[in-house]
Amino acid sequence: MAKLFIFDTTLRDGEQSPGCSMNLQEKLEVARQLERMKVDVIEAGFAIASPGDFQSVKAIAETVKDCTVASLSRALTQDIDRSWEALKKAVSPRIHTFIATSDIHMQYKLKMTKDEVLERARSMVAYAKKLCSDVEFSAEDASRSNPEFLYRIFETVIDAGATVINIPDTVGYTTPEEFFALIKGVRENVPNSDKAIISVHCHNDLGMAVANTLAAARAGATQLECTINGIGERAGNAALEEVIMAIKTRPQMYNLDYRLDTTQIHRSSRLVSSITGVSVQPNKAVVGANAFAHESGIHQHGVLAEKSTYEIMTPESIGLSQNLMVLGKHSGRHAFEDRLNTLGYHLTKEELDAAFDKFKVLADKKKVVQDADIEVLLEQKAVEIPETYKLDRFVINTGNTITATASVRLIKQNGETKVIEEVSTGDGPIDAAFKAIEKIAGISFTLEDYSLRSVTEGQDAQGEAYVKIRRDTQLYTGKGVSTDVFEASVLSYMNAINKMIYEEKLEEQV
Ligand code: KIV
Ligand code: ZN
């Protein structure tokens, strides 16, 4: 059995996708979860892209101990230096450098000849190797590159010290048969290919990213690059959960030995969706809400008689519990802690105290507290940021024959504590409340997106509200959870504003 390496690029390629930007705390929280799930490599970002990216790569490199941490760099000395600066304290750092190799990219984007690209790739891998023993080289747009040129460039960079050669399908153009042949071609025609790990990185423009990745694994690629929930540039990247569950469910097909803990998949998917505010489609393979739901009578009957009739993998294998024990306001601390442990959360005493207090407040409002409620409760804790504005109270007056009016009172904590109240009318109750908050904050920004979804079913279900606000080029996501949807909305708006204030302060300090 060959050893498989799962390279997660949620924090780099995933974060590049529209509306998926994350702040430092959020990236750290995702990185901790990826470490818990035991991915082999975390691509933490593109260090030279911005001071914020640099800080996140550095913080992740200094926090994560059990995974290799990589930073992307163009094939330029300044990019590589910046990556190394961010990575150098990591237990296992990797510099990832890339240059495009297709005729179309070399001619129109790089305006470089083949020989110039070859020499740049060689010299930059050699340069990176002097700083870091682990160097990955990617031939951008490899699937549309001349295979003979790819063989030459890979042979050259391996000689220069590359430990991993990555073959991206940058524009999601290839097909499983074609990609299989390309990977096989690289293995057979690059004389020193056995000295490096062969990696693939597929985009999903034609919906074939996972199929192409798996075809490459069959052809001998042993590092697979992917993202949680398949987020990424344009149509996204190969979804980690789909790739690994295919390998787990069909071991005879792939014959690969991996260390990833699949029972952390559900939690990872939830976390990324909750942080980015990008929901997972219900029928999405593996992590969609319906992935394990059997609706039709025939299927239900079959599953009741024998699960394997219609279930090729178990919900437990991705960390979804089949919990029959109900938690409510009479549940004690022990039962709560027990439930957390089963869900894979292991909290310190202080964290447990805080979570239990929140659970009690929720259990007072909701008859039954479900696992999804607990997950949301813990996610709130995970990415807490300083609350410049805290909600004190709000009153909303609305109806179909009156203009909606909201009065909101916030507590401003910025050195001194101040109570500020504003009233506003609006185009509906949420708009009125948001406008009152804007008056209090006195900062100009635009609301880009607002959505509301329920955490669980039932009339007393908690609502999760998401907003995205933009100030100049920066997008901030806010989230609020409550059994009252108006309160959830108000909290989400304030969360986004608090993040904006916090991050702008951080930027000033850099
Ligand atoms: O899609 C791509 O080609 C990339 C590379 C930089 C690896 O993301
Ligand atoms: Zn990519």
Looking up residue 451, the CATH number of its domain turns out to be 3.30.160.270
Q: Which protein residue's CA is at the shortest distance from atom 1 of ligand 1?
A: 170
pLDDT of residue 341: 83
Instruction: Select from 7, 17, 98, 110 the residue to mutate for testing ligand 1; criterion: most ligand atoms less than 8 Å from CB.
Output: 98
Which backbone phi and psi does 498 adopt, to 5 degrees? -60, -40
Which of 244, 276, 308 is at the close of a domain?
276
Percent pLDDT > 90 in the chain is 75
Measured at the CA of 196, the angle between CA 190 and CA 199, to 5 degrees, comes to: 90
| CA of 72, closest atom in ligand 1 | 6
Token duo for residue 474: 């920066």
Specify whether 336 is located in the same domain as 466. no
Triad 158, 159, 163: Cα angle to 5°: 35
What band does 193 get if pLDDT is binned at 50, 70 and 90? very high
Domain C-terminal end among 276, 308, 335: 276
**Domain check: are 431 and 497 in the same one?**
yes
Query: Which amino acid residue places its CA nearest to atom 8 of ligand 1?
Result: 13
Sign of the alpha-carbon torsion through 242, 247, 248, 250: positive
Return the sign of the alpha-carbon dihedral for residues 58, 68, 242, 195: positive
Residue 292 lies in a domain: no
Report CA(119)–ligand 1 centroid distance (Å): 20
The mean per-residue pLDDT over the stretch 450-457 comes to 87
How far is it, in rounded angstroms, from Cα 376 to Cα 379?
5
* Ligand 1 geometric centre to CA of 332 (Å): 50
Q: How confident is the model at residue 435 (pLDDT cuts 50, 70, 90)?
A: very high
Asked if the model's pLDDT at residue 382 lies above 60, the reply is no
Asked if residue 291 belongs to a domain, the reply is no
Distance 292 CA to ligand 1 centre (A): 33
Mean pLDDT of 251-258: 97
Q: What's the domain range around 355?
A: 321-382
Assign 325 a pLDDT band (cuts: 50, 70, 90): low
Indicate whether 283 belongs to any domain.
no
Mean pLDDT of 127-149: 98
Mutation test residue for ligand 1: of 10, 13, 136, 144, the one with most atoms within 8 Å of CB: 13
Mean pLDDT of 293-305: 73
Mean pLDDT, rounded, for 153-177: 98
Ligand 1 atom nearest to CA at 13: 8
Confidence at residue 240, expressed as pLDDT on a 0 to 100 scale:
98
**Is 35:18 a contact under the CB 8 Å cutoff?**
no
Does residue 299 register a pLDDT over 80?
no
Q: Which atom of ligand 1 is nearest to the CA of 9?
A: 8
CA atoms within 13 A on the CB side of 438: 15
**Closest-approaching ligand to the CA atom of 200:** 1
CA angle 261, 262, 265 (to 5 degrees): 115
Q: Which pLDDT band holds residue 148 (cuts at 50, 70, 90)?
A: very high
Both 362 and 488 in one domain: the answer is: no
Q: How far is the CA of 394 from the CAs of 264, 366, 409, 465, in angstroms?
A: 38, 21, 6, 17
Residues 177 and 105 in one domain: yes
pLDDT at 10 over 60: yes
Ligand nearest to C-alpha 99? 1
For the cut 80, the answer to whether the pLDDT of residue 143 exceeds it is yes
Report the distance separating Cα 56 and Cα 40, nearest Å. 19
Atom 2 of ligand 1 has which residue's CA nearest to it? Answer: 170
Are 403 and 497 contained in the same domain?
Answer: yes
Q: Is 281 within a domain? A: no
Least confident of 5-19, 38-52, 373-387: 373-387
Question: Measured from the CA of 171, which atom of ligand 1 is nearest?
Answer: 1
Same domain, 361 and 472: no
**Exposure of 160 in the CB half-sphere (CA atoms within 13 A):** 24
507, 493 Cβ separation under 8 angstroms: no
Which ligand places an atom closest to the C-alpha of 141?
1
Joined tokens for residue 440: 């209090």
User: How many other CB atoms are there within 10 angstroms of residue 117's CB atom?
Assistant: 20
Q: How far is the centre of ligand 2, averaged over its atoms, from the C-alpha of 170 (Å)?
A: 6
Q: How many whole angstroms from 234 Cα to the centroid of ligand 1?
A: 12
Task: Tell which wins on pLDDT, 301 or 393.
Answer: 393
Task: List phi, psi (to 5°) of 194.
Answer: -75, -10
Total count of domains within the chain? 3
pLDDT of residue 363: 87
**Residues 244 and 138 both lie in one domain:** yes
Q: How far is the CA of 97 from the centre of ligand 1 (A)?
A: 10
Nearest CA among 383, 478, 356 for reference residue 32: 383
Pick from 36-40, 165-169, 277-281: least confident = 277-281
| Whether residues 205 and 330 fall in one domain | no
In this structure, are residues 466 and 382 in contact, taking their beta carbons and an 8 Å threshold? no
Does 301 have pLDDT greater than 90? no
**Does the structure show a pLDDT above 90 at 367?**
no
* Structure confidence at residue 323 (pLDDT): 61
Same domain, 33 and 155: yes
| Distance in Å, CA 497 to ligand 1 centroid | 33
Q: Identify the band that residue 374 occupies on the pLDDT scale cut at 50, 70 and 90.
A: confident
Kindly state the average pLDDT of the residues 161-184: 98
| Residue 457 maps to a domain | yes
Higher-pLDDT residue of 367, 471:
471
Please, what is the average pLDDT of the chain? 93
Which CATH number does the domain housing residue 103 bear? 3.20.20.70
The verdict on 221 and 336 lying in the same domain is: no
Calpha distance 147→183 (Å, rounded):
10
Facing residues of 97 across strands?
73, 137
pLDDT for position 380: 66
For residue 2, give the 3-state DSSP assignment.
strand
Please give all residues whose beta carbon lies within 6 A of any atom in ligand 1, as ranges. Answer: 13, 98, 138, 140, 166, 168, 170, 201, 203
For residue 486, the tally of other CB atoms under 10 A from its CB is 18
170 CA from centroid of ligand 1 (Å): 6
**Paired tokens of 67:** 């995974």
Strands of the sheet containing 404-414, edge to edge, are 389-397, 404-414, 416-426
Farthest CA pair distance, the chain: 77
Q: With 60 as the cut, is the pLDDT of residue 324 above it?
A: no
Distance between Cα 176 and ligand 2 center (Å): 17
Helix (H) or strand (E) holding 480: strand 474-482
**Domain membership flag for residue 92:** yes
Best of 10, 170, 233 for a ligand 1 pocket test (most atoms within 8 Å of beta carbon): 170
How does residue 372 score in pLDDT terms, banded at 50, 70 and 90?
Answer: confident
Q: Determine the Cα–Cα distance for residues 130 and 134; give it in Å rounded to an integer.
A: 10
- Of residues 495 and 294, more confidence is placed in 495
Residue 306 in any domain: the answer is: no
Boundary residue ending a domain (242, 276, 310): 276
Distance 72 CA to ligand 2 centre (A): 11
Co-location of 217 and 190 in the same domain: yes
pLDDT for residue 1 is more than 80 = yes
Q: Which atom of ligand 1 is nearest to the CA of 237?
A: 1
Q: Is residue 311 part of a domain?
A: no
Determine which residue's CA is closest to atom 5 belonging to ligand 1. Answer: 140
User: For residue 302, what pLDDT is reported?
Assistant: 75
